[in-house]
Amino acid sequence: MMKTKAIDLVCELEAEYGSVVNVPETNPKLKLIRKILEPEREIKSYKPKAYGTPCKVIDLKTGETHQFHSMREASYFYGYAQNWAGNIYHLQFKRKQRYRVIKL
């Protein structure tokens, strides 16, 4: 029922402004639409998965540090295959690396 009300309000705004994109942010109807649809956005929001070994990755060149819920998440953050952080962790003392991975 609330969705149909939101759809009706969107149709009214489109009739008035030509497109929802052209509606000013201060418009009360637009604010009401956002309030109606807000619970749906919370359900679809991204939540990181809490599995795996938490770790911290340090960039030895820049000194930048990032903490992650898992080594897989760290690997994806840096744009590598899912086992990259684990490999760096196991090889870090055998040869010089740009990154250091520390298990938390």
Digit-by-digit pLDDT tens for the chain (104 residues) are: 677 888 888 899 899 999 888 888 899 998 888 888 776 544 444 455 556 778 888 888 888 888 888 878 888 887 777 677 777 777 666 667 777 777 77
Q: Between the CA of residue 23 and those of 9, 15, 16, 28, 66, what are the distances in Å?
A: 12, 11, 9, 10, 39
pLDDT at 50: 53
Percentage of residues of the chain with pLDDT beyond 70: 80
Torsional sign, CA 42, 18, 23, 1: negative
- Region for residue 18 given its phi and psi (left: phi exceeds 0; alpha: psi -120 to 50; beta: otherwise): left
Question: Is beta strand 65-68 parallel, antiparallel or unpaired with respect to 55-59?
Answer: antiparallel
Secondary structure class of 102 (helix, strand, coil):
strand
